[in-house]
Amino acid sequence: MFGVTTHELGHEWFPMVVGSNERLYAWMDEGFNTFINIYSTLAFYSDTAPRDRGNAIQWARFAASGLDVPSMLPADRVPPPLLGQAEYNKPATGLYLLREHILADTARFDAAFREYIRRWAYKHPTPADFFRSMEDRLGEDLSWFWRGWFYRTDVVDLAVDSVRARTDSTGTSALVYLSSPGALPMPVDLRLTYANGATEDVRLPVEIWYLGNRYTYQRKVPTEVVKVEIDPKQNFPDVRRGNNTWMKP
């Protein structure tokens, strides 16, 4: 009851204040409100709130099923059993992913989202207006994300292909060979585990994929690397986690 009530209250803003066209772009109303519901539920119920929406693992399971459809489809063209995923859960999960893990800066996202509302209050924005407004305020090109998440059904699949050590006069470096078999790139959160048991976390920006779907990360290391893992906290909706980890034979 709480979820339904707060969701419907949210429609006072989307689409009643920010007047997007729900017949053409249902996700701009339903997805926005579902996204906001994640936080309203957490604020009200705290630790007892359900964690199903915005959950990367659950979304990855659905994306891997092959049933996903683009959120950009008009609602009357989405098969009824998939309407909840396409227009509610998928955009909500995408915005949650953007706020919490891609930008990893909630204050920046919130400022940009508020600015979108301010600019388009009592007007009729399209998805392009939302995307442009967010990018303008964030100062960042997110076309790769809008395209893959909203216009298409691209999936996230990041992999550690192999790891090698290189020693020269300056010391020892680890060369981590990464790939992105999935069509939707993401930043890469790496955890390196050393022979002495110590771990080190590194974030590589999404720009590493701009020149292709393979990238070699090189880093000076204090001792031998015995394990490398992508996304150890499972924040990203990777559809194939079996290739996320390399361990020294």
CATH number, domain with residue 142: 1.10.390.10
Summarize the confidence of residues 64-68 as an average pLDDT.
95
Do 218 and 201 fall into the same domain? yes
Residue where a domain terminates, one of 151, 181, 211: 151
Do 163 and 146 fall into the same domain? no
Summarize the confidence of residues 166-183 as an average pLDDT.
96
Confidence at residue 8, expressed as pLDDT on a 0 to 100 scale = 84
Residue where a domain terminates, one of 122, 151, 180: 151
Do 108 and 199 fall into the same domain? no
Do 27 and 128 fall into the same domain? yes
Residue where a domain terminates, one of 86, 121, 151: 151
Indicate if the pLDDT at residue 162 is higher than 80. yes
Domain count within the chain: 2
Angle between helices 32-45 and 2-10 (to 10 degrees): 130
* Cα distance from N-terminal residue to C-terminal residue, the chain: 53
Summarize the confidence of residues 135-162 as an average pLDDT.
98
Judge whether 171 and 220 are in contact, CB under 8 Å: yes
Do 26 and 122 fall into the same domain? yes
Do 147 and 177 fall into the same domain? no
Place of tokens 């859960």: 89
Confidence at residue 50, expressed as pLDDT on a 0 to 100 scale = 57
Average pLDDT, the chain: 94
Query: What secondary structure does DSSP assign to 140-200, as a single string?
Result: S--HHHHIIIIIS---B--EEEEEEEEEETTEEEEEEEEE--SSS---EEEEEEETTS-EE
Confidence at residue 88, expressed as pLDDT on a 0 to 100 scale = 95
Confidence at residue 48, expressed as pLDDT on a 0 to 100 scale = 63
Which percentage of the chain shows pLDDT scores above 90? 86
Do 145 and 166 fall into the same domain? no
Give the residue numbers spanning the domain of 187.
159-247
Do 7 and 119 fall into the same domain? yes
Do 205 and 139 fall into the same domain? no
Do 165 and 100 fall into the same domain? no
Judge whether 83 and 75 are in contact, CB under 8 Å: yes
Do 168 and 225 fall into the same domain? yes
- The model's pLDDT over 231-243, given as tens digits with 9 standing for 90+, comes to 999 999 999 999 9
Confidence at residue 103, expressed as pLDDT on a 0 to 100 scale = 96
- The model's pLDDT over 71-103, given as tens digits with 9 standing for 90+, comes to 999 999 999 999 999 999 999 999 999 999 999
Confidence at residue 228, expressed as pLDDT on a 0 to 100 scale = 99
- The model's pLDDT over 20-45, given as tens digits with 9 standing for 90+, comes to 999 999 999 999 999 999 998 888 88
- Contacts of residue 222, Cβ cutoff 8 Å, sequence gap at least 6: 194
Q: 53 vs 21, which has greater pLDDT?
A: 21
| Torsion of Cα atoms, 81 then 84 then 85 then 86, to 10° | 100
Query: CATH no. for residue 167?
Result: 2.60.40
Do 8 and 104 fall into the same domain? yes
